[in-house]
Structure formats: C-alpha cells, structure tokens
Structure 1
Amino acid sequence: MMMWWWILIPIVLVLVVFQYNGRNRQNTEKRENPMDILDNRYAKGEISKEEY
C-alpha cells in the first residue's frame, strides 16, 4: 500500500505543474500593449484623432 503513494504523489505533482504552466501561457498570449489598444480603437472610430 505504501508503494502506491510513491507513485501517486509524483503523478499529481506533474499534473498540477502542467495545469499551472498552461494557464500562464494563455494569459500572456491575450495581452495587448496600450499602443495596440489605441490603434484598434482609432481604427474602429471609437476615438478621434485628437484623443489618439
């Protein structure tokens, strides 16, 4: 029975690490810098040239 814990604990740790790394990648891919946001808003006509 003790042997199962030595197998189960590393598997759980590996799964937790993979889940954590996957979330970080998703968050970094979606970020836009402020200049990109301004460019998009200006292109859509949401802000004027003076506001840009």
Structure 2
Amino acid sequence: MSADTTTYVTLYDQRVRLVADALTQNSKLGEKAARELAVHVLYAIDHISEKVR
C-alpha cells in the first residue's frame, strides 16, 4: 500500500514564490536573498491602498 501525500501551499507562499522567481530570473540575487526581498515587496504591495493600485 502506498500513502499519497499532498503538500498544502498557502496563497501567500505561492505569491512569495512568484515574486522570488521573478527576482532571481531578472537579477543576480540568490534564492535566499530573492525570497527575503519578495516578502518585503509583497508587504509593500499589500499595504498600497486599492485606489492607488
């Protein structure tokens, strides 16, 4: 019998991964630095008022 495992990835983690991937593909940042910067980028985007976005 094999046990199927499903890994749950939050929407936030998906967004962080998307931004981190864009940063690594378009810069010389490493994975860790890109992820740390992605968290800051998403924080800033999430705190921009809807009218401004």
Bigger relative contact order, structure 1 or 2, given CA contacts below 8 A and separation 6+? Answer: 2
Q: Greater CA radius of gyration, 1 or 2?
A: 1
TM-score (norm 2): 0.35
Task: Specify which structure has the higher proportion of helix.
Answer: 1
